[in-house]
Structure 1
Amino acid sequence: MKIASKYIVPLVLLTLFSCGGSGDDPTPEPEPEVPVPLAATLVFPDNNEECTEGVIVSDTESQVTFQWAASENTDDYTLTIQNLETGVETSSSTSNTELQVTLNRGTAYSWIVVSSADGTNETATSETWRFYNAGAAIENYAPFPAYDPYPEMGIEVVSGNISLQWEGSDLDGDSLSYSVYLDTANPPTTLLGGTASTNIDATLEADTIYYWQVISTDSAGNSSTSEIFEFRTSS
């Protein structure tokens, strides 16, 4: 059967209009990537030193100006200070490279600076520095509380024999000895042993949460207690 030609043209036109397109739609430009901020370099207070340059505001407090070098690709900095005796942390943000903070005198602290940038969630963290904020004259300072533990806080390790490790330092350069407490209770009260090294061996049960703590004592008899470290063993 033949189809009349008058029906063919409209059908072709309909096909052209239905399937055609301009083909000129622009491809969206990708958003430019925001450069990742780099870690700041700490300047003051000096690492493992006594800070004597604070402005005394009372018998118990002084104001210390923390300083660091500007880091690339950074819009803001967060200064976090930890009281090494109480474990309490305080944080403050600034777009500058220094910040004045009121601290307790005669107290050991650690501090870090976190760099951040607008348009990205990526951050960069500086080294951790420790210092002793000067108080009344002291002939011999207590050692810094033990830090940088292994196992690290909250991680899981294999049960069995393990070497607990940490770092220690003393402003006066005195030799240090350590008493290590390890327990399944918090706070730990079971003495694992004493050592002049910064490590001690322990035997761990499987599928158990352990808490441990280090008491550092210098040759003058001054001592300091670390925060309580925690880890878990695998099943």
Structure 2
Amino acid sequence: MKKFLYLAILGIVTWSCGGGGDDPAPVPPAANNAPTTPTTIYPENNDLCIDNTVNFQWNASTDADGDAISYVVEVSENSSFSPLSQTKTTSATSVSISLEKGVAFYWRVRAKDSEDSSGNSSANQFYTEGDGISNHVPFAPVLVSPELNGTIQTATTTLEWTATDLDTEDTLTFDVYFGTDANPTTKVGDNITATTFDVTTPTAPNYYWKVVAKDGNGGQTVGQVWNFKVD
């Protein structure tokens, strides 16, 4: 009997010390750090690029993990970058892209490693010189307020935008289109010189608007359609 008890106790001790529990939890892989956001060098904002083959340049990003970094350059005729005119990926901090002459463009750059991307750099607008051009069309108007897809709670609101022109001697005027159609065709402001316009927003839940910038010398640029909601 004593021998039986001894063997039973020895078996329990062996089982408790020898295993039978869960395996250790695997160590999760370290989180990846995205590269820092690059800063643009050239073209600067509102630059006039004489050559339509533009050498885009930016400062190098860093990566806390020491990962290899590449850069994505995006060029568009719209400040919303939709659609894109050109996109290039490179491991260098510059890239040359041939663009159409006599056109206002916007560009930005972001850095990426094998897993993540940084945020986009600030967007710069620039103009490619055309053959024999003496007048440059204005840059597309830029939204100030109301916020895109934002919500207002008043029966009236002030539309506000900014616009620039490489020909600094030009005086810009604006046509404002506003309504409930997704592509507004009703002109509510004609040849105004201000960059604000008051509208009434009584009942419809969604309003759409756009601005056409004109330089007085035959050049004009149609802005993108913006929208806001009324609560």
Could you say which TM-score interval applies, normalised by the shorter chain? Answer: 0.7 to 0.9
**170, 180, 183: which is aligned to 1:187?**
183
Q: Which position in structure 1 is the counterpart of 2:59? A: 69
Q: Which position in structure 2 is the counterpart of 1:93? A: 89
Aligned Cα root-mean-square deviation (Å): 2.8
Q: Partners of 2:24 and 2:83 in 1: how far apart?
A: 55
- Residues 75-224 of structure 1 mapped to structure 2, 5 A cutoff: 75-84=69-78, 88-89=83-84, 90-119=86-115, 121-153=116-148, 155-160=149-154, 161-173=156-168, 174-194=170-190, 195-205=192-202, 208-224=205-221
Q: Which position in structure 2 is the counterpart of 1:57? A: none
Q: How many residues align?
A: 220
Unaligned runs of 5+ in 2: none
Q: Partners of 2:98 and 2:37 in 1: how far apart?
A: 24
**Cα drift, residue 216 of structure 1:** 0.9
Q: Which position in structure 2 is the counterpart of 1:59? A: none
The answer to whether the 8 Å contact 1:116/1:124 transfers is no
**Cα drift, residue 145 of structure 1:** 1.1
Note if 1:231 corresponds to 2:228.
yes
**TM-score when scaled to structure 1?**
0.80
**TM-score when scaled to structure 2?**
0.81
**Cα drift, residue 20 of structure 1:** 2.2
Identify the structure with the greater strand proportion: 1
Q: Partners of 1:197 and 1:115 in 2: how far apart?
A: 39
- Matched AA of 1:208: P
Unaligned runs of 5+ in 1: 55-61
**Cα drift, residue 79 of structure 1:** 0.8
Q: Partners of 1:225 and 1:136 in 2: how far apart?
A: 23
Structure 1 residue matching 2:6: 3-state secondary structure: helix
Q: Percent identity?
A: 29
The answer to whether the 8 Å contact 1:79/1:114 transfers is yes
Structure 2 residue matching 1:162: 3-state secondary structure: strand
**Cα drift, residue 49 of structure 1:** 2.1
Q: Partners of 1:72 and 1:205 in 2: how far apart?
A: 51
